[in-house]
Structure 1
Amino acid sequence: MPLTFLAADHDSAGAPSEIPLPHTEQDYWRRPYRPGPWRVAVAAVTLLVAAYLLISGVIIILAGSPTGAGATAVAAVLAIAFALRLLRIGIWVSPRGLRRVGLLRTQTLRWRDIARVCTVQQPVKWLGLPRSVQGQAVHIERRRGEALRTLLTDHSADFLARPEAFDRAADVLEAWAAERR
């Protein structure tokens, strides 16, 4: 059975090109860069720990301690939620605005509320740790209020040792901001 909707050239495969997409561009948020290897590695290790916790929960329930199994299952669910949230951290864009997703909080700004998006040289945190090094950061200024806390740096978990990926992501964010304002 051919899966023409998965092919890049599905029009030539015989699928009609008039099929509407399941989403509109208004409600489509996307990240203009891929998650970095450090972020993916930490999430993978966290999911591995969650798998061990779930297996140990099964062993504990078979041993006859439902309270211990429940606590272990809750710890596993929290680890899975942490790993999934860790993979979503970053800057997301859509025609409606810019969304800054953090570990515990998400902040959405409309394009008309953003005064400027630029890349600046400044001391940045290395992998989010207290140690600061000289680097680049994407600075997002609002029209009213204070600037957004810096989330996108060339020494973050997404761009460490990948300077060309940071440059591409910064250029894409600046282009989206210039086009939508």
Structure 2
Amino acid sequence: MMQKSEAGTADRILQTAIELMKDKGFKAVTIKEIAQSAQVSEMTIFRHFETKKRLLETAIEKHSIVTSFQNLFETQITWDLEKDLYLIASTYLDQMEANRSIFLISVQERTTMPELSHHVSHNPKKLKQFLAHYFQVMSEKKKAKIEDPDKQAISFLTFLFGYFSSLTFLGNQFITDSKEDFIQHCVQTYCRGIT
């Protein structure tokens, strides 16, 4: 079992590596550079992660949003469509914002490290499953008219991902509404379409 200070060291290494890789790209960043920035020895990095690739995979696993969404769907759903979709949308955008660096690395390295897509794509696939199940139950409860829960889940997540991507790549010149205003408008529009 990892000691508390070792866990703190590993987290510091991960955070440093993520920021450097986001700014420079995976291949351009060296273990030596990560070690210097994290104020640890190169041997410490190898002891914790063995390789630079494993370090990145660990960062992606650590920042998985699956657990928080599983908890949301198991404990926070009220079966009120508008409230639930607002909660789901807010949580999704908060999690994506918290993981912006991982997202940017995956976009930068999609051609040089196609296996990275496998790790990163786990999050949206699981989230789609959770949301499709939610829509299926809402349909069974006669609280929404949903013919294809999978397509409804993809549609809703595409709204959210589009907002996050636009904000990430185009910034405030393109997105002028606040996140809360966007979520409110998106959820209300979506609810009108399926109730």
Q: TM-score range by the shorter chain?
A: under 0.3
The structure that is helix-richer by fraction is: 2
Larger Rg: 1
User: Structure 1 length as normaliser, TM-score?
Assistant: 0.28
User: Structure 2 length as normaliser, TM-score?
Assistant: 0.26
The structure that is strand-richer by fraction is: 1
